[in-house]
Amino acid sequence: MPELPEVEALAADLRERAVGRVIGRADVAEFAVLKTYAPPLTALAGGTIVAAGRHGKFLDLSVEPAGGGPSLHLVTHLARAGWLRWRESLPEAPPRPGKGPLAFRLRFEDGSGFDLTEAGTRKRLAVYLVTDPALVPGVAALGPDPLDPAFTPEVLGGILAGRRTQIKGVLRDQKLIAGIGNAYSDEVLHAAKMSPFRLASSLTPEDVAALHGVIVATLNEAIARSDGLAAGDLKKEKKAGLRVHGRAGQPCPVCGDIVREVSFADSALQYCATCQTGGKPLADRRLSRLLK
């Protein structure tokens, strides 16, 4: 799943490629992808991309409409298996709805544009066209952005205080902290030398300050690695930069112990017992719903 660093990199790529271009048309190839109906997608035609940004894991393209009026925001959530693919040349004809991975297409008047695709059968990619990003329910519910200067150790401490929930689940909860998902929560906890099962409420002020520093550093390092990369290269870079996530059975790059895995109903976490749990393996609570 694209998380904060990848979505930030996609926004940066679109700031280079898309800002200033005039939209020719927007088309839906998977009917369920469009979550809003007013304004209609046709309102994008003739509009100019003026900015590209993000809100947590949501990508936000700001559009100045051709006829004036309030700015429009094309907001996308790529879900678990979605991706953005830039094309220098797209067909003039709209795509035909079908069973392939194509979900949405934005074509500019010069023929360039991008496709939003989603692999697999579980279609969760979402596109919204709104006049204010806060009108997207998922955006409105987001917790603080961990790269916002306002996200201080004190703010993190307030989020964790009294919360008898495993720290792994807290880091992944978008309503508490925006942008961190399964992969980077594993990376943060490994770098912080902290068990993913530790209760959030058990962290001392010193623990909170250290965790805050690791969160910010881990995300900034991932963004720095992606700096200047095109969208097509981001997935490969992300995988190469991860230390424990997705590396079960491989040696920990810090201590050499074997990276272990705990499986759940629809996900899994990876960790190093030597670095994070005092050498004690965690129980594999397969099918558990403790972490969502």
Would you place residue 198 in the very low, low, confident or very high pLDDT band (cuts 50, 70, 90)?
A: very high
What average pLDDT does this structure show over 108-124?
91
Cβ distance 5 to 52 under 8 Å?
no
Instruction: Assess whether pLDDT exceeds 50 at residue 288.
Output: no
How confident is the prediction for the chain on average, in pLDDT? Answer: 93
Q: What are the CA-CA distances from residue 72 to residues 30, 121, 155 (Å)?
A: 22, 30, 32
What average pLDDT does this structure show over 204-215?
98
Give the position of tokens 């934005």.
106
Instruction: Assess whether pLDDT exceeds 90 at residue 237.
Output: no
Residues of the chain with pLDDT > 90, as a percent, come to 82
Q: What is the pLDDT of residue 285?
A: 60
Instruction: Assess whether pLDDT exceeds 80 at residue 284.
Output: no
Q: For the ranges 36-50, 166-180, 257-271, which has the lowest average pLDDT?
A: 257-271
3-state secondary structure the chain: CCCHHHHHHHHHHHHHHCCCCEEEEEEECCHHHECCCCCCHHHHCCCEEEEEEEECCEEEEEEECCCCCCCEEEEEECCCCEEEEEECCCCCCCCCCCCCCEEEEEEECCCCEEEEEECCCCCCCEEEEECCHHHCHHHHCCCCCCCCCCCCHHHHHHHHCCCCCEHHHHHHCCCCCCCCCHHHHHHHHHHCCCCCCCEHHHCCHHHHHHHHHHHHHHHHHHHHHHCCCCHHHHHHHHHHHCCCCCCCCCECCCCCCECEEEECCCCEEEECHHHHCCCCCCCCCCCCCCCC
Would you place residue 289 in the very low, low, confident or very high pLDDT band (cuts 50, 70, 90)?
A: very low
Instruction: Assess whether pLDDT exceeds 70 at residue 286.
Output: no
Q: What is the pLDDT of residue 67?
A: 84
Q: Are strands 82-87 and 113-118 parallel, antiparallel or unpaired?
A: antiparallel
Instruction: Assess whether pLDDT exceeds 50 at residue 105.
Output: yes
- 238: tokens are 């992300």
pLDDT single digits (tens) 61-97: 999 999 888 999 999 999 988 999 999 999 999 998 8
What average pLDDT does this structure show over 97-119?
93
Q: What is the pLDDT of residue 290?
A: 42
Instruction: Assess whether pLDDT exceeds 90 at residue 142.
Output: yes
CB atoms within 10 A of CB 129: 24
Helix axes 231-241, 4-17, angle to 10 degrees: 150
Residues of the chain with pLDDT > 70, as a percent, come to 97
Would you place residue 291 in the very low, low, confident or very high pLDDT band (cuts 50, 70, 90)?
A: very low
Instruction: Assess whether pLDDT exceeds 50 at residue 233.
Output: yes
